């Protein structure tokens, strides 16, 4: 594949805010791609861990590489990154720096930095998809929320300016935000009522400390009773110097209310924009940290979302292909 041979780039670093640098890894062309996909991993996870697990690694060309997959790779720019407090990204010096809301702002800032049509003020539209697994999926929801709040603010200021210039056509503003065309939410974490029990688990991990938590790390429940159940667990991806802050931040994080998320997913403002397409992939395999009930709750508030719940590893193995198909759909728009 052209992508795997030429366009994969080694680890990089991206400054998204003054003093905030994230470790990144990119796949596909950074200039001229039809779609940009920004992807976040889960709590204590890592890019390397996702590569080892191979559960949703849509960035890896399929074994039966053909013209269609080459076309996908030539038109898709994937940016993966280590969240704050993970990998070689900036450490977290307080719990306030690692909340889902802050991680969402990071994801949006990284996407804006990497979007070539914004860098070059090109008229040609590049589609933007945000996604991730677990904490990464929560980051994507908060990134959408942030973009919408900014869009609302930009639009109201534009209206005020237009009114004060008596509708002078030179002052008509073309509001570029919100710029998110698709969301991919994989193994959505617990939220609202279900979050309380998870909070207690995280607090126990904080009390045990970094090394004891690393030693207790287990394979995902989806591998049970399969030919992969004896594989070692992936290493802890959180930085030792940030462990307590990252975990405390996760314990105090939660998704917005169902009412607010329903509005976000429907994208009521601005009226001229179509709502983002949404793909939600979850499993029902005894994983209490990522229960099927999280996907069911989102299905109720986002009726147009494509929601799939897998019960076997075989079904999960099709997720990479499903994500690639979804990206193609958004691309075609």
The residue-averaged pLDDT of 66-78 equals 86
Q: What is the pLDDT of residue 141?
A: 97
Band of the pLDDT at 196, cuts 50, 70, 90? very high
Whether residue 152 has pLDDT greater than 60: yes
Q: What is the pLDDT of residue 11?
A: 82
The residue-averaged pLDDT of 289-317 equals 95
Band of the pLDDT at 180, cuts 50, 70, 90? very high
User: Cα–Cα distance between 320 and 61 in angstroms, integer?
Assistant: 9
87: left (phi over 0), alpha (psi -120 to 50) or beta: left
**In contact, 100 and 252? CB cutoff 8 Å:** no
Nearest to 37, CA basis, from 56, 15, 18, 53: 56
Residues, the chain, total? 333
Q: What is the pLDDT of residue 214?
A: 96
DSSP state, 4? I
Q: What is the pLDDT of residues 94-119, one digit of tens each?
A: 999 999 999 999 999 999 999 875 56
Give the H or E element holding residue 146. helix 135-164
Band of the pLDDT at 215, cuts 50, 70, 90? very high
Band of the pLDDT at 121, cuts 50, 70, 90? low
Question: Which of 99-113, 139-153, 260-274 comes out lowest in average pLDDT?
Answer: 260-274
**In contact, 250 and 190? CB cutoff 8 Å:** no
Whether residue 53 has pLDDT greater than 50: yes
Q: What is the pLDDT of residue 146?
A: 94
Nearest to 37, CA basis, from 237, 277, 250: 277
Q: What is the pLDDT of residue 120?
A: 63
Higher pLDDT, 244 or 73: 244
Q: What is the pLDDT of residue 142?
A: 98
The residue-averaged pLDDT of 248-276 equals 84
The pTM assigned to this predicted structure is 0.91
User: Cα–Cα distance between 312 and 333 in angstroms, integer?
Assistant: 31
Token pair 């890896």 is at which residue? 60
The residue-averaged pLDDT of 3-17 equals 70
């Amino acid at each position: 594949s052209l992508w795997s041979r030429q366009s994969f780039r080694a680890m990089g670093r991206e400054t998204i805010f003054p003093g905030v640098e994230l470790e990144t890894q990119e796949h596909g062309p950074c200039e001229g791609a039809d779609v940009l996909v920004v992807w976040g991993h889960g709590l204590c996870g890592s890019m390397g861990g996702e590569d080892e697990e191979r559960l949703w690694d849509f960035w890896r060309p399929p074994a039966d590489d053909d013209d269609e997959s080459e076309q996908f790779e030539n038109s898709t720019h994937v940016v993966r990154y280590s969240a704050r407090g993970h990998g070689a990204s900036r450490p977290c010096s307080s719990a306030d720096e690692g909340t889902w809301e802050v991680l969402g702002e990071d994801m949006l800032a990284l996407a804006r930095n990497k979007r070539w049509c914004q860098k070059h003020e090109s008229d040609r539209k590049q589609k933007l998809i945000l996604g991730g697994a677990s904490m990464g999926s929560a980051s994507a929801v908060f990134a959408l929320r942030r973009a919408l709040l900014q869009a609302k603010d930009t639009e109201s200021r534009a209206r005020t300016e237009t009114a004060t210039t008596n509708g002078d056509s030179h002052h008509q503003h073309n509001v570029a935000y919100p710029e998110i065309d698709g969301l991919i939410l994989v193994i959505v974490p617990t939220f609202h009522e279900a979050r309380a029990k998870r909070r207690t688990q995280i607090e126990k991990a904080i009390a045990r400390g970094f090394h004891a938590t690393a030693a207790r790390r287990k394979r995902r429940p989806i591998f049970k009773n399969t030919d992969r159940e004896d594989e070692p667990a992936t290493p802890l991806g959180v930085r030792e110097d940030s462990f307590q802050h990252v975990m405390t931040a996760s314990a105090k994080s939660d998704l917005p209310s169902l009412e607010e998320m329903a509005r976000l997913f429907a994208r009521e403002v601005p009226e001229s924009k179509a709502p983002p397409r949404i793909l939600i992939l979850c499993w029902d395999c005894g994983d209490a940290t990522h229960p099927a009930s999280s996907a069911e709750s989102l299905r109720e508030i986002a009726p147009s979302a494509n929601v799939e719940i897998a019960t076997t590893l075989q079904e999960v193995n099709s997720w990479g292909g499903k994500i690639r198909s979804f990206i193609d759909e958004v691309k075609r728009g």
